[in-house]
Structure 1
Amino acid sequence: MSAKDLEAKTNVISSAVSATGVSLDSDAAELADLGYKQEFKRDYNLLSTYSFALSISGLMGTISITYLYPLWSGGPAAAVWCWFVGSIGCLCIAWSVAEITSCFPTSGGMYYVIAHVVPKKHVPIVSWIDGWLYLTGALTGACSTDFGAATLLLQTVSMYQDYAYVPTRGHITAVAILVIITHGIINSLPGSVLSSITKYYCIVNIGSTIALIVTLLVKCPKYNTRGFTFGEVINSTGWSSEGWGFLFGFLNVSWVMTCYDATSRMSEETKNASLQTPIAIASALTTTAVLGWVLVVVITLCMGTDVAGYLASSSGQPIVDIFLHAMGKQAATAYLALCFLILWFCGAVATCYTSRSLWSFARDKGIPGSEFWHHLTAKTKAPTRCVWLIVTINSLLTLINLGSTVAMNAIFSACAICF
């Protein structure tokens, strides 16, 4: 949308409000000043918005399924220091995005902001590129979260049965698609339902992470040395340069602490959005950075020294064997099941903000068939068409796993790169 179109749209909305004599509340009035009318219900308060922002990172759930990358790229040192250094960079971006969101609280997020901060002649192409990169990242992010959740669940079952059961590609693909469908169902409900559920998620997420840290420290049979935990570099990438291999370790933190403006996509459903949304983004990402680093250090401290064995495990998820080593079968099964639950919530909110992103992009005519996709179901006020388009696309992406696990794993990288 060009600056001229935006100004014209704002004038039309303002004129309509004046003609009908309707008095807008402060949120709707601010949205009208930005060129849009209020269409969603504002069901999110500060707690539910903070929980929503925290659920995007997923903390112990997403750390669990991405711990493979630093372990593979540089061993213990990469796991610890890539998170520490990477989280500082991520926080700089997150706090900046929070400040920008306070000025432009719309579900369009950064592609809308571009209309105000980029030279006018470049606005259409840059907004279009940003919007499509974001949608690609959001889709692959939701897909990879659900695929990771399905993989973790079935590998947990396998571990509990002493590896008598070995999940096939077909099993993992089918479970992932079932998870995707459940997210489509919950996101087809009224926004008040998801906000009510999300409201308490931060307590579960933070409490579970702290409980996991304590359990690992208490039950671990033997801690690794300080030198091994913080200084041992084991390059398993095949690169001759340890430095280049080490850099792949940043995939862990860049995947977990990503999609900084996802919560801004919920701005049109948040009360006092210009204040509460940026507070939620900044505080949730800070929580993730600090608590996540503590968790990564503790996992590395308690995992033992058989890095090669973890990487060669048939499960493809080193965290399963690490938990088994550190806590025993019963505790490992319980915490891995909890990781799956947290990943399920992460995937649910990913589908939620992706649907709002798609709906908003359609509102500004950025995708084919915009008139059809810019639609809210009258009874639920949910963008149901967008939700089930996402379910369809992600189910098709998941089918890639039947042909190539390497191609499927590339979805994880595509998420971080696009965001």
Structure 2
Amino acid sequence: MSSTTLDDDAKQVKNLGYKQELKRTHTTWSLFGLAFIVLNTWTALSASFSLALPWGGPSVVLWGLVVSGICNGCLAASMAEFAGLYPTAAGQYYWVAIVSSQEWAPLLSWICGWVNLVGWVFLTGMAASFASTMIEGMAAMMNPTYVNQTWHTFLIYAGIATLVFCVNALGNSQLPLLNKTALVWSLVGFAIITMSALASAAPNYLPASFVFGGVINKSEWPTGLAWTIGLLQGTLSLIGYDAPAHLCEEIINPSKNVPRVMIGSVIIGTISGFCLCMALLFVSPEIESVLAAPEGALLHILTSATGSQQGAITLNTFPTLCLILGTTAIMTTASRLMWAFARDGGLPFSPWLAHVHTGLGIPLNALVVTYVVVLIYGLLFFAGAAALNALVSASIVSLGISYAFPTFVNMCGGRRRLPKNRPFRMPEPVAWVVNFIGVAFVAVTTVLFCLPPGGPTVTKQTMNYTVLALGIVVIIAVGDYFLDGKRRFKGPRLPVFDDEDLERLQDVGVFGGKPSVDVRMA
């Protein structure tokens, strides 16, 4: 990469109110590898069949993914308009401040920052928990006498979290290569599993009518409502496409590359996920046995398809390693967002969290705190499945809200608060439709994913505690804001604009944050 390009990127960060502190080591392909392995769509789908099959059956696994892909694609395109113009690791909370009024910008930006950060930290724990569950499933299959203990699961989980922490802390310079390797591993694994399962099971496939149109409802909810609750699986498998935005201070030419990667990762993730799910459903044994399998749905399906436990375990190593690599990338993203938010004073002990280690070239303190919180997340294994499921839903809901937040605020301002000459821009009629679809999807799924999955009759074990988890986060965030946050957080720093854009933005009441630099171009 040329020094001119790096100088231009550093100047762009300076124009946004910050200084270049992290090295730009990522290329377009390494960033795409990070985004693809963060989404881990086909892997997440294969690891979460139990989230959809009882609430909609095969039809929601496939067509629910398509619905989620279209709607999340709209959200990605909506955020891409911001990401190309304001390539800062702050991401959504920065964009919210840009398009908010002066009066509301600090509070709205604060809320969005907390919601986004909590979603990413929870997502790190969720990915590690999925990986630990897969490893336990393989152990159970290899040793029929093995009896799972909760502390076994926690130790595996803690081992994975520690491994990815060490990789992030000590191997930052190798992360671009690791992300590209993860991309290749994931695509190769996807192809091998799909072809092996179909070839081994031929011609004993389930009927196409059942694969594409089968509906199952094991809940007390009406079938239509149960089907929409089953969208949780498809939405889960596509969450995290804002990762490139939070690493945009570590990639060359982010205004061009970040929007492309955000949108492209959703498209390719949806296509690969659909193909794999279709193959797995065709080769599945009876759905009842899949749902009841102690080793997990994927291992059960692969064992039935290949007729070999050893073959199934070998194939299962692909998604297991994908989840570990994905946890590494997710922890990277979470730590960068925590660092960016602390840089603006959004967190307690912000100066300490915003420190960049000179020798390692990373925000080490933010990474350590992310790791510690992820370990605490793992203690929920001892609280039972209901507590873990609540944080899975809370992660999806939190990230979804953070995606819709800047888009909704921009719509409320008539979409007049972004400069016209931005790197990625949709035609206005198209943009309004895309923005509306994305925001409406988040509004609907936020309600759906907070409902008790089994039906209106609930017990302590079947209650959905997502609202409680989110409520605790909101109480902490708002409490901190009014106790000390208002003093230390005045909103993110503002970008430098030329005179024409400055005059237009001031006319519509933008510039809610407190600028640290002159808002006029020198």
1:235 matched to which residue of 2?
Answer: 217
Map residues 1-400 of structure 1 onto 2, 5 A cutoff: 25-161=7-143, 163-221=144-202, 222-236=204-218, 238-304=219-285, 306-315=286-295, 317-327=296-306, 328-400=308-380
Distance 1:24 1:247 in 2: 46
Secondary structure, counterpart of 1:200 in structure 2: helix
**CA-to-aligned-CA distance 1:240-299 (integer Å, 9 cap, x gap):** 411111112111111111122111100000011111122222222211011111111111
Distance 2:169 2:124 in 1: 16
Distance 1:324 1:24 in 2: 51
Shift of 1:85: 1.5
Distance 2:74 2:184 in 1: 25
Distance 1:191 1:98 in 2: 26
Secondary structure, counterpart of 1:72 in structure 2: coil
CA contact (8 A) 2:132 2:160 kept: yes
What letter matches 1:218 in structure 2? A
Shift of 1:183: 1.1
Shift of 1:218: 0.4
CA contact (8 A) 2:122 2:374 kept: yes
What letter matches 1:341 in structure 2? L
Shift of 1:167: 2.1
Shift of 1:399: 0.8
Distance 1:364 1:218, change over 3 A: same
CA contact (8 A) 1:28 1:37 kept: yes
Distance 2:280 2:66 in 1: 14
Distance 1:142 1:24 in 2: 30
Secondary structure, counterpart of 2:66 in structure 1: helix
Secondary structure, counterpart of 2:247 in structure 1: helix
Secondary structure, counterpart of 2:275 in structure 1: helix
Distance 2:139 2:369 in 1: 31
Secondary structure, counterpart of 2:104 in structure 1: helix
Secondary structure, counterpart of 2:389 in structure 1: helix
Distance 1:366 1:217, change over 3 A: same
Shift of 1:46: 0.9
Shift of 1:90: 1.1
Deviates more, 1:41-50 or 1:317-326: 317-326
What letter matches 1:339 in structure 2? P
Query: When the two structures are superposed, what TM-score results if normalisation uses the length of structure 2?
Result: 0.73
CA RMSD of aligned residues (A): 1.6
Identity of aligned residues (%): 25
Distance 1:43 1:24, change over 3 A: closer
Q: How many residues align?
A: 394
CA contact (8 A) 1:69 1:248 kept: no
Query: When the two structures are superposed, what TM-score results if normalisation uses the length of structure 1?
Result: 0.91
What letter matches 1:383 in structure 2? P
What letter matches 2:297 in structure 1? P
Q: Which runs of 5+ in 1 are unaligned?
A: 1-22
Distance 2:262 2:153 in 1: 33
Shift of 1:154: 1.0
**CA-to-aligned-CA distance 1:348-397 (integer Å, 9 cap, x gap):** 00000000000000000001010110011111111111111111111111
Distance 1:289 1:240, change over 3 A: closer
What letter matches 1:132 in structure 2? W
CA contact (8 A) 2:61 2:234 kept: no
Distance 2:52 2:149 in 1: 25
Shift of 1:333: 0.4
The structure with more helix, counted as a fraction of residues: 1
Shift of 1:190: 4.8
CA contact (8 A) 1:147 1:176 kept: yes
Distance 2:326 2:49 in 1: 17
Shift of 1:24: 7.5
Shift of 1:412: 1.2
**CA-to-aligned-CA distance 1:7-57 (integer Å, 9 cap, x gap):** xxxxxxxxxxxxxxxx98100111111101000000001111111111111
Moved over 2 A (4+): 312-315
Deviates more, 1:278-287 or 1:369-378: 278-287
